[in-house]
Amino acid sequence: MVGGSNPSTPALPVLPGYLSILRPTNAVVSGLVAPLAYLIAGGEPGPVAVWLFCCVLLVTGAGNAVNDYFDAAIDRVNRPDRPIPSGRVSEQGALRYAALLSVVGGLAAVPAGVAPTLLAVANAALLWLYAARLKKIALAGHLTVAYLSASVFLFGGAAVGVDGAGVVLPLALITFLGTVARELLKAAEDVEGDREGGARTFPVRFGVRPTVRLALLFALAGIAASALPYPAWGLPYLVLIVPADLLILGGAIRAVGCPTGDCVRETRATTLLKAGMFLALAAFAVAALLAQS
């Protein structure tokens, strides 16, 4: 039956608030990128890779928690099922939890070396600044999130050294451009709630149509940048990255012409971009493995 509930069908389980607020899938995937970058840069499997994973997992979770704290009013409009609006986590509880995760996450980077520790501390501070201020500034917030996503590659590479960071720099650039595109589309989806909450995001200031067009430009730039690892990884990488590029391109194109946030949401453009970026991550991993074998 459409539009009704079946009493014999059990409801989907709801994650405990303090687990849900971490966005565990997002945090785990982000955490896995760090040891992947470390291995691509020439690092050896072992404890350092584990510490890198733990650091990114915890700092990402802290960023998600503090973001929910500052976005509580907006989420009551855009995302009422999230832990704070739904009452599963209090606002002060989320703030204390984020602070604890930030500290523990920074300490987890210490065994990986000085450069990763400094980067972890700087990124943890930037996550707080983003949630408190930068998110409400047109484009600055989207660029910050894109940098933070891309910097996980640099974080893993830095554990090997300066040369290691250079090896993963093209992957960081691809991630940066693709993430800007997705962040713009997510902001377009949330334009009504952001406007009500006083956020000055790009679509609030300039409209949904210019936002989705700008997102397409960043997506195209990311697709162009995805050719950079080809000289090092060869034909297998090309075969793997093309499907990811097509997903990203398809998602960005579908949203073009949308005049409202609801329209962008109905196209599922952000879902397609996310799938494309996950596939690109798999392409990086498989191509690097084949190149090293």
Q: How many CA atoms lie within 13 A of 131 on its CB side?
A: 21
The pLDDT value given to residue 15: 61
Nearest to 218 by CA among 163, 290, 278, 273: 273
The pLDDT value given to residue 204: 87
The DSSP output letter for 160 is: T
Nearest to 288 by CA among 250, 243, 241: 241
Whether the CA torsion 263, 87, 201, 23 is positive or negative: it is negative
Cα separation, 58 vs 68, in Å, equals 15
For residues 149, 152, 155, 156, the Cα torsion angle rounded to the nearest 10 degrees is -160
**Look-up of token digits 């990811």:** 244
- DSSP helix/strand/coil, 12: coil
Decide which of 1.20.120, 2.40.128, 2.60.40, 2.40.50 is the CATH code for 168-293. Answer: 1.20.120
pLDDT by 10s per residue, the chain, length 293: 333 334 333 333 456 888 888 898 889 999 999 999 999 999 899 999 999 999 999 999 999 999 889 888 877 877 888 888 888 888 898 899 999 999 999 999 999 999 999 999 999 999 999 998 888 787 888 899 999 999 999 999 999 998 888 999 999 999 999 999 999 999 998 888 777 767 778 898 899 999 999 999 999 999 999 999 999 899 999 999 999 999 999 999 999 989 998 999 999 999 999 999 999 999 999 998 888 77
Q: Chain-centre distance of CA 208, in angstroms? A: 21
Instruction: Provide Rg for the chain, Cα atoms.
Output: 19
Question: Which DSSP string do the residues of 43-60 spell out, in sequence order?
Answer: PPSSHHHHHHHHHHHHHH
C-alpha pair distances (Å), 264 with each of 64, 67, 193, 253, 267: 23, 23, 14, 11, 5
The pLDDT value given to residue 76: 80
Which helix (DSSP H) or strand (DSSP E) does residue 88 occupy? none
Sequence letter at residue 171: L
Assign domain 15-160 to its CATH architecture: Orthogonal Bundle (1.10)
What residue segments make up the domains of the chain, in order of their start? 15-160, 168-293
The pLDDT value given to residue 292: 77
Cα separation, 72 vs 85, in Å, equals 6
Residues 6+ apart with CB under 8 A from 196: 74, 77
